[in-house]
Homo-oligomer: A and B are copies of this chain.
Amino acid sequence: MTSNHPLDTATRLTRVAAARLAGVTSDTYWNFAGPFGGYIAALLMRAVMDDPRRLGPPVAQTVNYCAPLAKGHFEIAVVLPRSGKATQHWSLELHQAGTVAATASIVCANRRETFAHDVETRPAAPPPETVPVAPSPERLPWLGAYEFRFIEGGPRFGEPARDVGDLAPPVTRLWLKDRPDRDLDYVSLAGLADCFILRLVQMRGTLPPMSTVSMTTYFHALPDELARQGSAPLLGIATAKRFSANFHDQSMELWGSDGRLLANGMQTVWYRE
């Protein structure tokens, strides 16, 4: 890792023991009370990508957000409970000052040519250059680390819904990429998976205390697809199905320039009121 891209400096890890890595948080990916969840996902993905035991590309990642990460030093404990010929299962814990800030599982796999079929291809969307880049609010640094071009369902901060009938639609479609430009890899894809404004904010236009509690991402793209994608924007789509009793679901898709689904996944979001 010789790149000086903010994502690479922010996810640089040092091996302090066979199964333990150390790092320092970056202000670039800061949200309200800690880094945004996509940075944590990218960090944990980096820990596995850097591991010499890794079998092949990641196919699935689940991150459980247990506590906010404070500014400063942290450590990641990496365990490999099972490694076979076809798949490999990793378990990770992100520790800081005696607290578990996140737990995660990552599945890597040996990926060979098999039956392949794109059940869906990328939905139609206006070309990215025809969609304006959204301004970045300064108080949330992580939003400045990505370029957002909202096609549909852009944020409506400061216009709270008066009642359920006034809620915004659940769907957001946007063009999305790292800022500054960075060639796509599994580390950045893990972070991009969490770049969608939480649906509660999107639909209600309010900012109550809320945070992602658990997020799962499935990586369909093979390394050669990521290489072809380069730094071009991805088409992102997010939606939700149900809000109740402090939680809502959120699903997302990230589509590549070649019209194929690079990653999809879901998360559950806690909110206070």
**A residues lining the B interface (CB < 8 Å):** 59-60, 62, 64, 66-67, 81-82, 84, 86-87, 89, 91, 93, 99-100, 103, 105, 107, 109-120, 164, 167, 170, 200, 203-204, 213-214, 216, 218, 220, 222, 239-247, 249, 251, 253, 260-261, 264-266, 268, 270-273
Query: Within the complex, what minimum Cβ distance (angstroms) separates A66 from chain B?
Result: 4
The quantity of this chain's copies bound in the complex is 2
- Asked if B214 contacts A115 (CB within 8 A), the reply is no
Residues of B with C-beta under 8 A to A240:
119
The residue in chain B whose Cβ has the minimal distance to the Cβ of A57 is B245
- Asked if A114 contacts B273 (CB within 8 A), the reply is yes
The residue in chain B whose Cβ has the minimal distance to the Cβ of A62 is B62
Beyond known contacts A66-B81, A66-B87, A216-B266: 18 more, CB 8 A cutoff = A59-B247, A59-B268, A60-B268, A87-B270, A89-B103, A105-B214, A107-B213, A109-B246, A111-B246, A114-B246, A117-B164, A118-B244, A119-B242, A214-B216, A220-B244, A241-B261, A249-B264, A265-B266
